[in-house]
């Protein structure tokens, strides 16, 4: 995409964290924003921030688990702005518990929020983007979808690994049609995803990807996303050093798992929770 000025972006989960930061970054570069979030009041606040700064934005309450949610977002954007150029599937949910304690219904919920929402988005927006022969899709995955460092968030990790695979397939399909695809894989970033956390079974230690990965501010990630859209970059990890970990794993997968078992990076102990 040569320029973000005059473009229209729809961002889910845009009322806070990475979604909000990306909305602000794109708006500062001249993009009109549809701020979509299940928290209607917070979405209105972000849209107001953009407008106060001189940008163009509207808010739309959105439950991404509803089958018609993305059709409604598309209709709202077309009615207000007349076009759609960027779709960022950013909203997500998290659950926590040992594998034997997380019930099947909770697996269904997490996959519905994190994975099937992307499918719903594709069904709504791909025909539009393909017809116009331009656009860009951003799917938010996670470090947890690239490598395993914890065992108490398996539903989340599985859903994010699937988002990476869907995104790669979309890139193969859509790039020849003039449509870019970026998969955002955040490491430690200050967001409020823990507000939606559901827990099952006994407390567990919180494991992170490693001490090399500092906690980032959402604003920095928002700028990374804007730059990736302009550069038509596919893989966007928030911390570039993740590549070394992935190379290490690919070179000796059993050894990588053994090291994760022997020397996990504990962010917080269960006893301190």
Asked if residue 134 lies in contact with residue 148, where contact means CB atoms within 8 angstroms, the answer is: no
Residue 152 near residue 96, CB atoms below 8 Å: yes
Integer angstrom CA distances of residue 273 from 203, 248, 266: 8, 32, 13
Question: DSSP labels for 229-244?
Answer: HHHT-SEEESSTTHHH
Asked if 239 and 187 count as a contact pair (C-beta separation under 8 A), the reply is yes
**DSSP characters for 144-200?**
GGTS---SS-HHHHHHHHHHHHHHHHHHHHHGGGTEEEEEEE--SB--SGGGG-EEE
Residue ranges of domains in the chain: 8-272
The CA–CA distances, whole Å, from 197 to 92, 94, 171, 194 equal 10, 5, 31, 5
Query: What is the pLDDT, as a whole number, of residue 272?
Result: 61
**d(Cα 138, Cα 181) in Å, to the nearest integer?**
6
CATH of domain 8-272: 3.40.50.720
Identify the CA nearest to 71 among candidates 60, 113, 26, 8.
Answer: 60
Whether the Cβ atoms of residue 128 and residue 109 lie closer than 8 Å to each other: no
Give residue 271's pLDDT. 72
CB atoms within 10 A of CB 41: 10
The pair of three-digit structure tokens given for residue 231, joined into one six-digit string:
């550069």
Torsion sign across C-alpha atoms 7, 87, 140, 33: positive
Q: Active-site residues: which are they?
A: 156
Q: Are 68 and 93 in contact (CB under 8 A)?
A: no
- The two most distant CA atoms of the chain are separated, in Å, by 56
Q: What pLDDT does 193 receive?
A: 75
Per-residue pLDDT of the chain (273 residues; tens, 9 = 90+): 899 999 999 999 999 999 999 999 999 999 999 999 999 999 999 999 999 999 999 999 999 999 999 999 999 999 999 999 999 999 999 999 999 999 999 999 999 999 999 999 999 999 999 999 999 999 999 999 999 999 999 999 999 999 999 999 999 999 999 999 999 999 999 987 777 789 999 999 999 999 999 999 999 999 999 999 999 999 999 999 999 999 999 999 999 999 999 999 999 998 765
In this prediction, residue 162 carries a pLDDT of 98
pTM given for the model: 0.96
Quote the CA–CA distance of 268 and 265 in Å, as a whole number.
Answer: 9
């Amino acid at each position: 995409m040569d320029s973000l000025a005059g473009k229209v972006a729809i961002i889910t989960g845009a009322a806070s964290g990475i979604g909000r930061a990306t909305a602000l970054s794109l708006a500062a570069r001249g993009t009109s924003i549809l701020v979509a979030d299940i928290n209607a009041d917070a979405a209105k606040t972000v849209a107001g921030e953009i407008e106060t700064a001189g940008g163009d934005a509207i808010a739309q309450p959105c439950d991404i688990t509803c089958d018609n949610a993305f059709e409604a977002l598309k209709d709202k954007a077309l009615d207000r702005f007349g076009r759609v150029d960027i779709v960022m599937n950013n909203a997500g949910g998290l659950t926590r518990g040992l594998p034997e304690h997380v019930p099947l219904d909770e697996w269904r919920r997490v996959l519905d929020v994190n994975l099937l929402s992307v499918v719903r988005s594709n069904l709504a927006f791909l025909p539009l983007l393909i017809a116009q022969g331009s656009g860009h899709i951003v799917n938010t995955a996670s470090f947890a979808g690239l490598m395993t460092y914890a065992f108490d968030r398996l539903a989340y990790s599985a859903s994010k690994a699937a988002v990476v695979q869907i995104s790669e397939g979309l890139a193969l399909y859509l790039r020849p049609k003039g449509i870019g695809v970026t998969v955002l894989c955040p490491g430690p970033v200050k967001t409020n995803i823990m507000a939606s956390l559901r827990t099952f079974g006994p407390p567990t230690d919180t494991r992170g990807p490693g001490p090399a990965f500092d906690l980032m501010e959402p604003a920095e990630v928002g700028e990374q996303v804007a730059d990736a859209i302009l550069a038509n970059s596919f893989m966007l990890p928030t911390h570039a050093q993740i590549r070394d970990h992935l190379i290490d794993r690919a070179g000796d997968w059993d050894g990588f798992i053994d090291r994760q078992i022997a020397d996990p990076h504990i962010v917080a102990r269960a006893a301190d929770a």
